[in-house]
Structure 1
């Protein structure tokens, strides 16, 4: 990186380090309850909370969390208001605000937490953070390079996320297409005709233990598991398990309840060798079909459109077992079901590989950016003695 090497050459001479209180004014945020709606962003430690009609300052400024997400340091270059979970700093004329922002990012302020509960930072601690003060020329060149790096990183991340989304869309299209083509001439029948749908009951997260009988909570169907699983992440005691619904190998577990329409009706095939249990807000489908074919079909637009006729609720969406019984499913022969599963498993494996690879690439680029940022912002301290 020639530009970085050029700047590092300018950093050979030691520079003074000063406490933050000597390079910037530090202000406490205030409540925004009295402010009317407007165009000025109101910041909390998590970011913009709303927009108000009055500014605490016209900027630029560096916002440092006082409580909560201490690592979430922010830079603003226009009017803003901060609530009392933030400090805001106004750099003096020998420090560029953006330089101060980038340097504070390297200081891992979250490690200065002084509370046992909600992470907290006092102004006294913040004031003592030592800041290097190179020439304005060096500060401006570092800011220019890091601004470029930040922009490039954001562009790359957007490209990789778009690629990931495109691959996911491609996978969904292929899954829906192969199931549609392979079942086009298949007889359709209600789920009640291909097996027995049994609604679970009981089991809360407080019932979980470190070992015992394997258990799948209904919420895990759409937060933890994909199409099928042969392992669990939760257990209940044998005594609790006796009062819960048994899931046999090959059974389908279907969510009956969710906060949104997309997740309700999510199905996961249990492919483990042992019986496990499930509880309330879940239905078990016992059947003699290919379990993964059924689970894949539950992801298709065919099922999604049908379930909309029976799902009910506003804040909580319900899809009862009695409603599931009416869902019509195309049922090809077991050999065709097996072929569909084989094709979709191959394609899904490629998609999963991509899903892991792209985030890893994003993380690698972010670490590379942090490396060069920290290198640029490392200075020798001037010894006054």
Structure 2
């Protein structure tokens, strides 16, 4: 990349192993389930790290911490990482601490932190881009091992080498990449406004008087089926997407175990409780699917009902570390059952809104996706430094 060559003209970029320039610290220790009820101290949850390149201090949770209890506090400049995952490609997601916490803030038990030595000049804003680059994601993935759950080896993690360019180079790269993310942010704000409009009409259309419409549990009007355990190594080359705990598929297999219209509920991890809709054959693994009796409920109507309740369903996830949604807790979930004609009318209206706000092939979602790809392209090019080690 000519711009990078010009930026680095006459400049030496050192490569150093993480073990040589930083210390690794763990998350909360010695905590029981009750400690996460009515807590007095803030901590960064797993989802906050997974979802955000830089820690969002508006998304902290609470835990009980005694006055003289010895726990690591996070500090400005720290990089936080998710320490385990059921999906190999999602291991070690990073989140940089780019602002000074206004009080003591701790780290969840299933994550770990990286703190650079005082003589190492790496600005946090640079770290937030660096540790999510293609090079770093690939290097971090190589430090993980496991079968059904992957865990990072801290020893192997410490051997990862990272580039340490001069501060002025870091600042220029941050300026360029932050400009690109700001463009995406503006488009996302506009899309959010449209989605709020969609949510308003969805709420109006899907709010039913319990005295006028019958309500039934999911187990009464259909079947809830668990997925089949499989790992990427066990999958055979094929064309069927393997769907687990995310909004998209992870890899492919040579057979499917679900077909037709399918409602999927993610079972565990950062996306636990996520409701998604599929109308192609898939192989469902660490999740469960809902199959309504079509004589009673239209599948797409049920999907819209559950999607409206997405926050409530996410909150059904249990576990202080890696959250889980259990089938037995979901089967009693009650939903309205209006006439099939009314269901069809509502689905017709909501499908149009859904296309406007969620379609990957047109409108704002497509523009946002293009901007994200543009950012990823320049991020990976700008963060690819010469390495003679």
Q: What TM-score, normalized to structure 1?
A: 0.54
Tell whether 2:77 aligns with 1:60: yes
Partner residue in 2 for 1:22: 20
Residues 216 and 134 (structure 1), Cα distance of their counterparts in 2 relative to 1, 3 Å cut: closer
Residues 110 and 155 (structure 1), Cα distance of their counterparts in 2 relative to 1, 3 Å cut: farther
Question: What is the aligned counterpart of 1:40 among 14, 18, 42?
Answer: 42
Tell whether 2:386 aligns with 1:369: no
Question: What is the aligned counterpart of 2:62 among 14, 26, 50?
Answer: 50
Q: Distance in 2 between matches of 1:21 and 1:41?
A: 25
What secondary structure sits across from 2:79 in the alignment?
strand
Deviation track 1:20-67 (CA, whole Å, cap 9, x = no partner) reads 112222223341628783353344465444356575243320012221
Q: Which consecutive residues of structure 2, in runs of 5 or more, have no partner in the other structure?
A: 50-59, 66-70, 207-211, 229-254, 266-273, 283-290, 310-329
Q: Distance in 1 between matches of 2:275 and 2:221?
A: 20
How many residues end up aligned between the 2 structures? 278
Deviation, 1:126, is: 0.9
Tell whether 2:386 aligns with 1:380: yes
What are the equivalent positions in structure 2 for 1:317-332 lying under 5 Å apart? 318=334
What are the equivalent positions in structure 2 for 1:85-234 lying under 5 Å apart? 85-92=110-117, 93-98=119-124, 99-106=126-133, 107-108=136-137, 109-166=140-197, 169=200, 203=223, 205=225
Q: Distance in 1 between matches of 2:127 and 2:142?
A: 18
Residues 168 and 81 (structure 1), Cα distance of their counterparts in 2 relative to 1, 3 Å cut: closer
Q: Is the 8 A contact 1:41 1:52 kept in 2?
A: no
Q: Distance in 2 between matches of 1:82 and 1:142?
A: 29
Deviation, 1:94, is: 2.6
Tell whether 2:7 aligns with 1:10: yes
Residues 23 and 167 (structure 1), Cα distance of their counterparts in 2 relative to 1, 3 Å cut: same
Residues 351 and 114 (structure 1), Cα distance of their counterparts in 2 relative to 1, 3 Å cut: closer
Q: Is the 8 A contact 1:43 1:50 kept in 2?
A: no
Q: Distance in 1 between matches of 2:227 and 2:162?
A: 51
Deviation, 1:130, is: 0.8
Q: Name which of structure 1's ranges 367-376 and 74-83 shifts more when overlaid on structure 2.
A: 74-83
Residues 33 and 233 (structure 1), Cα distance of their counterparts in 2 relative to 1, 3 Å cut: same
Partner residue in 2 for 1:355: 358
Q: Is the 8 A contact 1:15 1:382 kept in 2?
A: no
Q: Distance in 2 between matches of 1:202 and 1:58?
A: 50
Q: Which consecutive residues of structure 1, in runs of 5 or more, have no partner in the other structure?
A: 177-189, 193-198, 235-243, 267-313, 332-336
Q: Distance in 2 between matches of 1:7 and 1:43?
A: 36
Deviation track 1:121-163 (CA, whole Å, cap 9, x = no partner) reads 1111111111112112212332343344334433322222323
Q: Distance in 2 between matches of 1:94 and 1:6?
A: 25
Q: Distance in 2 between matches of 1:144 and 1:212?
A: 46
Deviation track 1:160-210 (CA, whole Å, cap 9, x = no partner) reads 23234435657888x89xxxxxxxxxxxxx999xxxxxx977755379996
Q: Name which of structure 1's ranges 371-380 and 141-150 shifts more when overlaid on structure 2.
A: 141-150
Q: Distance in 2 between matches of 1:39 and 1:64?
A: 20
Q: Distance in 2 between matches of 1:6 and 1:224?
A: 42
Residues 67 and 120 (structure 1), Cα distance of their counterparts in 2 relative to 1, 3 Å cut: same
Q: Is the 8 A contact 2:15 2:387 kept in 1?
A: yes
Residues 111 and 170 (structure 1), Cα distance of their counterparts in 2 relative to 1, 3 Å cut: farther
Q: Is the 8 A contact 2:256 2:281 kept in 1?
A: no
Q: What TM-score, normalized to structure 2?
A: 0.53
What are the equivalent positions in structure 2 for 1:247-262 lying under 5 Å apart? 253=297, 262=305
Whichever structure has more helix as a proportion of its residues is: 1
Residues 51 and 367 (structure 1), Cα distance of their counterparts in 2 relative to 1, 3 Å cut: farther
What secondary structure sits across from 2:13 in the alignment?
coil
Q: Give me the CA root mean square deviation.
A: 5.2
**Higher gyration radius (CA):** 1
